Structure 1
Amino acid sequence: MDRAAQVREAFPELADIRDDDLREKVVEAWARGLERGGWRDIADIPYAWNIHDVTNVEHTRGVVKIAVASAEIQRDFHGADPDFDVIRAACLLHDVGKCYEYVTHVDDHLTDPDPTYVTEDIPHSMSGYALAHEVGVPLAVQRAIPHFIGEIPRRTMEAELVKSANSASSNAITQAAMGISLKEWVKRYSQTQE
């Protein structure tokens, strides 16, 4: 199966992006990331370098679901007007950079990376932003992709939803997989990755 087809199959949430051009740019960013990372299967990308029981696809889909549900509450309960296409696209792209960052944390037979792009030196939210920019994703989506402390540009409502949904999903995953919160995971393992 070609990479674009893998992306479409992995993320049924793509169908909810109303803007056809935006939807295709999300697919293109993922396809480029998969190609450059040398991934044979999108399902082989782990959630984290040391948590392989949950895939990046599962986490990403969870982030979309959490952010959309939160945006619906903001709209219906508080009268806000969130841009659902921006939210969905940014959630789907928030961890596309793991295509570059996590190749050294899986078995060699799962990936054949292009060293021009692949490195652990650039955090995945930044390389994901670069991929989104490269394929021409709108600035509103690009702005919502960086999500880690120190990388965050001026925040919009959509960007805050992506960031908080990512934290909520990550907290659930680290608690289920390791019995610790995301904050504890970052404290314990960020030093081992530096």
Structure 2
Amino acid sequence: MAGPDYAAQVREAYPELDHIEDADLREQVVEAWVLGLERGGWQDIEDIPYAWNIHEVSNVEHVRGVTRIAVESARVQREFHGADPDLDVVVAACLLHDVGKCYEYVDFVDADVLSGTDREHYASEEIPHSISGYALAHEVGAPLAVQRAIPHFLGEVPTRTLEAELVKSANSASSNAITQSAMGITLKEWVAKYSQTQS
């Protein structure tokens, strides 16, 4: 019996892939997700939660929200301020910024949504998802500009590009909306309350 068609799942989950003009980059985004899903042993991309303790919002919903926010912000930067962010880099990095959750969150979901998780080599909460996401993007040959925009926590990348800042700020905007609607707290309050709990 064949396993899940991860590539089809990724393409269906993320229609924003169509905003990436470079066909090779578009396929690299799909390939990185396929590797993450295979190694994490997920049955369905929609089963990955937004956070280890927020399961009512999927990671797909969050990633799509981040991408839309960043694209709109890039439009404002271009039209209002005359900046020129690379939209392919922004969309690809947004779509990949949480691919590492394929590895990090396997221990926080019901076993029936997983099969064949490769815990020995990949799946673990030991490495933050922003770093494992960077590694997946690197592995599939995504451009350095995309790779360096994926780590979205302070201090992970010494010099941040305009595109990296768009990803980071869009991630914060989406995350704040999710923690507010799910728990009635800000992202900062969520981090303060739960970062010690998980480690």
Q: TM-score, normalised by structure 2?
A: 0.96
Aligned equivalents of 2:61 and 2:159: distance in 1? 28
What residue is the counterpart of 2:78 in the other structure? 75
- Superposition pairs for residues 58-137 of structure 1, below 5 Å? 58-112=61-115, 113-115=117-119, 116-137=121-142
The alignment partner of 1:53 has SS state of strand
What residue is the counterpart of 1:167 in the other structure? 172
Task: Determine whether 1:33 maps to 2:36.
Answer: yes
The alignment partner of 2:155 has SS state of coil
User: 2:22 pairs with 19, 31, 50, which one?
Assistant: 19
Structure 1 gaps, min length 5: none
Aligned equivalents of 1:127 and 1:86: distance in 2? 18
Aligned equivalents of 1:108 and 1:160: distance in 2? 36
User: 1:182 pairs with 187, 193, 199, which one?
Assistant: 187
- Count residues with an aligned counterpart: 194
Structure 2 gaps, min length 5: none
Aligned equivalents of 1:72 and 1:160: distance in 2? 14
Task: Kindly provide the amino acid, as one letter, of the partner of residue 155 in structure 1.
Answer: R
Query: CA offsets, 1:155-190, max 9 Å, x none?
Result: 000000000000000000000000000000000000
Aligned Cα RMSD in Å? Answer: 0.7
Task: Kindly provide the amino acid, as one letter, of the partner of residue 128 in structure 1.
Answer: G
Task: Kindly provide the amino acid, as one letter, of the partner of residue 52 in structure 1.
Answer: H
CA contact (8 A) 1:86 1:158 kept: yes
Aligned equivalents of 2:64 and 2:140: distance in 1? 21
Query: CA offsets, 1:45-67, max 9 Å, x none?
Result: 00000000100000000000000
Task: Determine whether 1:144 maps to 2:149.
Answer: yes
CA contact (8 A) 1:39 1:111 kept: yes
**1:44 deviation in Å?**
0.1
The alignment partner of 2:196 has SS state of coil
User: Greater CA deviation, 111-120 or 38-47?
Assistant: 111-120
The alignment partner of 1:192 has SS state of helix
Task: Determine whether 1:5 maps to 2:8.
Answer: yes
CA contact (8 A) 1:143 1:153 kept: no
Aligned equivalents of 1:73 and 1:100: distance in 2? 34
